[in-house]
Amino acid sequence: MKNLITFLDDEQGTETVEWVMIAAILAAILAAASWDVLGVAVNNLINSIANSINSVL
């Protein structure tokens, strides 16, 4: 019984889980932001290539 109480009072694992969740949320936000910027850059590149091809034809 003493081991169970000691285990339940130990908050080190809980703190680790909280930090992992914070890191995961920040990674998701950064991924979403970079995906938007990357998508615009790829779209501009494709449009530039298409315009170059159309000007040759």
Average pLDDT over residues 10-14: 70
Instruction: Please list the alpha-helical segments (H only) found in 1-57.
Output: 2-9, 12-56
Average pLDDT over residues 6-20: 75
User: Which pTM does this prediction carry?
Assistant: 0.50
Confidence band, pLDDT 50/70/90 cuts, at residue 46? very high
Question: Where on the phi/psi map is residue 10: left (φ > 0), alpha (ψ -120 to 50), or beta?
Answer: beta
Give Dmax (Cα) for the chain.
83
Q: How far apart are CA 39 and CA 8, in angstroms?
A: 47
Would the pLDDT of 8 be above 70? no
CA atoms within 13 A on the CB side of 47: 6
